[in-house]
């Protein structure tokens, strides 16, 4: 099948045992599968690939050519690239699963709308987080043996999560970085963090995650250090260093605006019903939706929109400007 284990969704036997024993393929399921596949393909081709070019260009710049604005622009582009590349792949995998009669578990739940790092990891690469929880965190003792043991277990899990992504110091530091924030949030307690102003919590999450993505993307610790110093306004950029307009083409700006809208606006309830279903929920929920009053609208408009999106994606692909999936590199 199309999905790769390391890229997710990480599928366990109990996720698909019912489908193995008694698969159900219907016209409605094909409709959802094709729609999810096209949406994921568009996420990858139209958004992720568009912002990948400035990402690569900026992360390849030497420290002397990194201004504060360019560094922030590059970090933001990569944050959008990795999310839409990875979630796009996941939607394609889940869609193809539906076409073959398999219900694969969801892997993303709008992670950039989270209010803390703890919540972020409940929404990002969900199947990996659950795998580490069930096969590493809980066997280590979880949170059953006091505070210090819990904090140690969290650091161990995210240290290994970093190594899981590759044998580079940047991945190790990235994993420990997230582990430290999880420990800090647990020490501070959820009740304390909830007292903060909601926009402030969201800004904290985005800033923390974006800095982490710089560590994740950089070729080495020295490159990551140069990027982070530039973001903090402590870089040593030369006078004629490139500015943001050099990297911000019309297609890049359009992709970033589309990405911001998708992140900010929750999907319709009908899409959430499919994207957020678990393998244990019966497929008849999708069939029942077709019998509602809105069936005529969604039965005509959405297939037309899906077709238009597929044509647009095909046009973009025909230019030859595309990259492999990020998580296929690990």
Active site residues: 165
The span from the CA of 89 to the CA of 313, in Å, is 14
Cβ(125)–Cβ(131) below 8 Å: no
The phi and psi torsions of 172 (rounded to 5 degrees) equal: -65, -45
User: Which residue, among 133, 178, 132, has the nearest Cα to 155 in the 3D structure?
Assistant: 178
| 112 phi and psi angles, rounded to 5 deg | -75, 0
As given in the structure block, the two tokens for residue 297 are 């609208």
C-alpha triplet 77, 80, 83: angle, nearest 5°? 145
What Cα–Cα distance (Å) separates residue 246 from each residue in 54, 60, 75, 252, 324? 9, 14, 16, 11, 24
Are the C-beta atoms of residues 117 and 181 closer than 8 Å to each other?
Answer: yes
CB 11 within 8 A of CB 216: no
Q: How far is CA 275 from CA 77, 83, 105, 118, 187, in A?
A: 25, 16, 9, 22, 33
């Amino acid at each position: 099948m199309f999905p790769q284990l390391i890229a997710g969704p990480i599928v366990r036997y109990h996720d698909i045992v019912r489908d193995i024993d008694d698969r159900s393929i219907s016209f409605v399921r094909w409709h959802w599968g094709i729609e999810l596949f096209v949406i994921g393909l568009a996420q990858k081709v139209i958004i992720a690939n568009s912002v990948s070019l400035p990402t690569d260009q900026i992360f390849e710049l030497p420290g002397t050519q990194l201004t504060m604005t360019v560094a922030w622009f590059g970090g933001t582009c990569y944050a959008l690239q990795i999310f839409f590349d990875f979630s796009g792949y996941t939607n394609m995998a889940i869609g193809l699963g539906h076409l073959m009669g398999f219900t694969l578990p969801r892997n993303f739940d709008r992670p950039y709308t989270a209010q803390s790092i703890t919540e972020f990891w409940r929404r990002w690469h969900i199947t990996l987080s659950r795998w580490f929880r069930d096969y590493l965190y809980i066997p280590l003792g979880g949170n059953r043996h006091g505070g210090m043991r819990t904090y140690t277990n969290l650091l161990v899990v995210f240290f290994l999560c970093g190594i899981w992504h590759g044998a580079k110091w940047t991945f190790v530091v990235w994993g420990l970085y997230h582990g430290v924030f999880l420990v800090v949030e647990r020490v501070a307690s959820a009740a304390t963090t909830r007292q903060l102003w909601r926009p402030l919590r969201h800004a904290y999450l985005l800033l923390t995650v974006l800095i982490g993505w710089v560590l994740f993307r950089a070729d080495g610790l020295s490159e990551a250090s140069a990027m982070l110093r530039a973001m903090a306004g402590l870089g040593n950029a030369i006078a004629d260093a490139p500015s943001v307009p050099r990297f911000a083409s019309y297609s890049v700006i359009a992709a970033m605006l589309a990405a911001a809208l998708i992140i900010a606006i929750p999907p319709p309830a009908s899409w959430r019903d499919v994207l957020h279903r678990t393998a244990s929920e019966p497929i008849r929920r999708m069939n029942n939706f077709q019998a509602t009053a809105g069936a005529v609208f969604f039965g005509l408009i959405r297939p037309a929109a899906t077709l238009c999106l597929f044509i647009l994606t095909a046009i973009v692909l025909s230019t030859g400007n595309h990259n492999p999936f990020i998580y296929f590199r690990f």
